[in-house]
C-alpha cells in the first residue's frame, strides 16, 4: 500500500479552490441588487455569481433570505426552520441537515406513475473567515418516464446522477454525492 502512496506524496501539485457563491433565485437577486446598487455601496457587480463573504462584508449582513415558518415545537422547527444539528463557535460553524424529497407524476404516454423518493444528508461548515465546505449524499429510488428509463437501463446511469441498478422491476435505485470546498 505504501508503494502507491509515496509516489503521490512526492509528486508536486497545486490545489486550487473556489469561494462560496451566493445562490439566489431571480426574486432574491432583485432584492439583493437593490442593496448592492445603492450609491453608498462599493461593490463590483458585473461578474456573477457573487462571493458570499464579500457580500457579507460589504452589506454588513448575509443577504440570504430568512424564510422561517415560526414553529414553536422542536420537531417542526428542526424540520422547517433550523438545522437539525448546528455547532457554532468563534472560528467555526457546522450544520447537518436531512434531505427528503418525495414526488410523483403521471405519464400520458404509457399511463405509468413516475415517482422519486430521495433521502440523504447535507453537511455544511465554515472554518475561519475564508474556508467553507458543503457535502451532500443522496440515496434515490425512482420510476422515470419511458425515454429516461430506456436511457438509464441501456447505459446503467441516470442522467445527471450516477450509476443505476434495478429496483422493483421498472424502477431504478441510484445515489448521488457532491461536495464543494471554497477558500
Q: Which of 41, 67, 93 is the last residue of a domain?
A: 67
Distance CA 153, CA 142 (A): 13
Supply the pLDDT for residue 19: 47
| 155 and 181, same domain (yes or no) | yes
Cα of 15 vs its chain's centroid, Å: 22
> Is 43's pLDDT higher than 90?
no
- Count, in order, helices (H) and strands (E) of the chain: 5, 6
Q: Which of 139, 128, 121, 133 is nearest to 175 (CA)?
A: 139
| 96 and 144, same domain (yes or no) | yes
Taking the C-alpha atoms of 152, 158, 163 and 164 in order, what is their torsion angle to the nearest 10 degrees? -60
User: Do residues 104 and 113 lie in contact, with contact meaning Cβ atoms separated by under 8 Å?
Assistant: yes
DSSP 11: S
More confident residue, 51 or 10: 51
Does the model's pTM come out above 0.85? no
- Those residues with Cβ within 8 angstroms of residue 37's Cβ, 6 or more apart along the chain or in another chain: 45
Write out the residue range of the structural domain in which residue 169 sits.
Answer: 71-183
Write the pLDDT tens digit of every residue in 112-122. Answer: 789 999 999 99
Residue 28 three-state SS: helix
Supply the pLDDT for residue 87: 92
| 24 and 91, same domain (yes or no) | no
Write the pLDDT tens digit of every residue in 143-168. Answer: 988 888 888 888 888 888 888 888 87
Supply the pLDDT for residue 67: 53
| 79 and 52, same domain (yes or no) | no
Q: Say if 4 falls within a structural domain.
A: no
| 87 and 163, same domain (yes or no) | yes
Q: Say if 107 falls within a structural domain.
A: yes
Distance CA 149, CA 158 (A): 8
* Distance in Å from the first CA to the final CA of the chain: 31
Q: Say if 9 falls within a structural domain.
A: no
| 87 and 100, same domain (yes or no) | yes
> Is 26's pLDDT higher than 70?
no
| 52 and 134, same domain (yes or no) | no
Q: What is the mean pLDDT of the chain?
A: 77
Tell me how far CA of residue 109 lies from CA of 105, 106, 143, 147, in angstroms. 12, 9, 14, 10
Q: Which of 139, 140, 173 is nearest to 156 (CA)?
A: 173
Residue 174 three-state SS: strand
Amino acid at each position: 500500500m505504501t508503494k502507491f502512496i509515496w509516489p503521490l506524496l512526492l509528486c508536486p501539485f497545486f490545489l486550487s479552490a473556489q469561494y462560496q457563491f451566493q445562490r439566489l433565485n431571480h426574486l432574491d437577486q432583485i432584492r439583493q441588487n437593490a442593496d448592492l446598487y445603492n450609491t453608498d455601496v462599493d461593490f463590483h457587480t458585473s461578474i456573477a455569481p457573487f462571493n458570499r463573504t464579500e457580500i457579507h462584508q460589504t452589506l454588513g449582513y448575509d443577504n440570504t433570505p430568512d424564510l422561517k415558518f415560526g414553529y414553536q415545537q422542536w420537531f417542526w422547527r428542526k424540520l422547517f426552520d433550523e438545522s437539525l444539528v448546528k455547532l457554532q463557535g468563534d472560528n467555526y460553524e457546522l450544520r447537518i441537515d436531512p434531505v427528503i424529497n418525495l414526488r410523483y407524476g403521471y405519464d400520458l404516454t404509457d399511463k405509468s406513475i413516475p415517482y422519486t423518493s430521495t433521502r440523504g444528508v447535507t453537511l455544511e461548515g465554515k472554518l475561519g473567515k475564508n474556508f467553507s465546505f458543503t457535502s451532500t449524499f443522496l440515496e434515490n429510488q425512482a420510476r422515470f418516464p419511458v425515454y429516461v428509463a430506456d436511457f438509464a437501463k441501456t447505459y446503467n446511469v441516470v442522467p445527471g446522477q450516477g450509476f443505476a441498478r434495478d429496483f422493483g422491476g421498472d424502477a431504478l435505485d441510484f445515489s448521488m454525492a457532491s461536495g464543494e470546498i471554497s477558500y
